[in-house]
Amino acid sequence: MIMPQGSIGQAPSSIPVKIGARVRLAKGKLSLMLGFSSMLGFLLASPQAPPVLLLLVGGVVLLAGGAASLNSLQEWRQDRLMRRTMFRPLPQGELNPGQALRQAVLLIGCGLLLLSFVPGPLPVALGLLAVVLYNGVYTPLKAKTMLALVPGAVCGSLPVVIGWIAGGGQAGSPVLGALISLLVLWQVPHSWLVSLIYRDDVARSRMPQLLHHLSEPAMRRLLVPWVSALAATMMLFTLLPLGLNATARTVLLCAAILLALVFLLQVFLHYSLNYRTLFIFLNLIFILFILIVCAARISLPSVAGHPLGNIV
């Protein structure tokens, strides 16, 4: 087995290297995507883009980064043993556990502080709930059962709920249900594709994994209904009264159909796929969906200073 070269007690002093290590410790790309999802929730509740939206997105990104930093600290010993994770900052010795803990506390604190400036107590409460679910339930549970995916999916859907509530949306709205479904349905194939990319790691791992019970072809087939359900949910947004223009609806519809077709066709290929390409494709379509909906909502016209398209 290839072992990382660094030592957990040693941390390089180069400022650019440390900044990069800290961003990777916080899983910067994933944290940014969760921030975008909170923006989606806010703009679907209200198409305005006030300054508080920046506080919301910044708060969610910092909170997600803090939770991810704490997760990296919780799992660094296991991370040393897997090819997928052995080059993360803690196993490589780019940062030490004390630095990781301070970063986690600082980011979580700053994230909650920014969310406290968002109207109402629920954004902060939901933010705290997300941290508890991710670091207190999902992280320890995933070493024991595959059912850890359930609290993980709930946690991953909370940023869009925070955005929706902050934008003035009602808790019982069917649009909120569609938003939560969208996030949950994206997370499951996202997670399974990571397992398929690093299936050699999964085969050696003692952690409960679906690939321990299903063959690779079976996993490929299982991706189809989940991704198809995700595509159907994306199509649903073109039918809801969100004020989306014809161009936005057409692009979203085409993207959803393309997503479903690509994952359906991969079942009939009789050779090992490049799962990383499928992973990138899934996430690009998802990001494209978020950005198109957000842009279309912001561009809605106003009447007498009040934007059209508010949803309750």
Residue 154: closest CA among 126, 173, 196: 126
Q: What token pair was written down for 224? A: 């189809």
Mean pLDDT of the chain: 87
- Residue where the block lists tokens 């024991």: 144
Least confident of 76-80, 138-142, 175-179, 195-199: 76-80
Rounding to the nearest 10 degrees, give the CA dihedral for residues 141, 142, 148, 154.
90
Helices and strands counted in the chain (H then E)? 14, 2
Kindly tell me the burial class for residue 194, based on how many C-beta atoms sit within 10 Å of its own C-beta (0-12, 13-18, 19 or more): middle
Residue 307, SS3 per DSSP: strand
Backbone angles phi, psi at 198, to 5 degrees: -110, 45
pLDDT band at 303 (very low <50, low <70, confident <90, very high): very low
Q: What token pair was written down for 175? A: 């649009």
Rounded CA separation 296/309 (Å): 11
Enumerate the domain spans of the chain: 16-307
Rounded CA separation 264/37 (Å): 26
Rounded CA separation 4/306 (Å): 57
Residue 109 C-alpha from the chain's centroid: 20
Residue 303, SS3 per DSSP: strand
- Residue where the block lists tokens 């006030």: 50
The mean pLDDT value for 152-172 works out to 92
Q: What token pair was written down for 45? A: 């509740």
Beta bridge partners of 303: 306
Rounded CA separation 290/287 (Å): 5
Residue 54: closest CA among 42, 44, 70, 68: 42
Rounded CA separation 237/252 (Å): 8
Residue 113 vs residue 3, higher pLDDT: 113
Rounded CA separation 252/291 (Å): 10
Residue 16 vs residue 161, higher pLDDT: 161
User: Is pLDDT of 206 > 80?
Assistant: no
Least confident of 37-41, 100-104, 259-263, 265-269: 265-269
C-alpha torsion sign, points 282, 285, 291, 297: negative
Backbone angles phi, psi at 307, to 5 degrees: -70, 145
The mean pLDDT value for 205-219 works out to 82
* Cα angle: 49, vertex 300, 171; to 5 degrees: 65
Whether 129 contacts 161, CB under 8 Å: no
Rounded CA separation 271/261 (Å): 18
pLDDT tens column, 262-280:
999 988 876 667 899 999 9
User: Is pLDDT of 9 > 50?
Assistant: no
Q: What percent of the chain shows pLDDT beyond 90?
A: 59
Whether 59 contacts 118, CB under 8 Å: yes
Query: What's the pLDDT score for residue 229?
Result: 97
Q: What percent of the chain shows pLDDT beyond 70?
A: 90
The mean pLDDT value for 178-195 works out to 93
Give the DSSP H or E segment for 269: none
Class for domain 16-307, per CATH?
mainly alpha
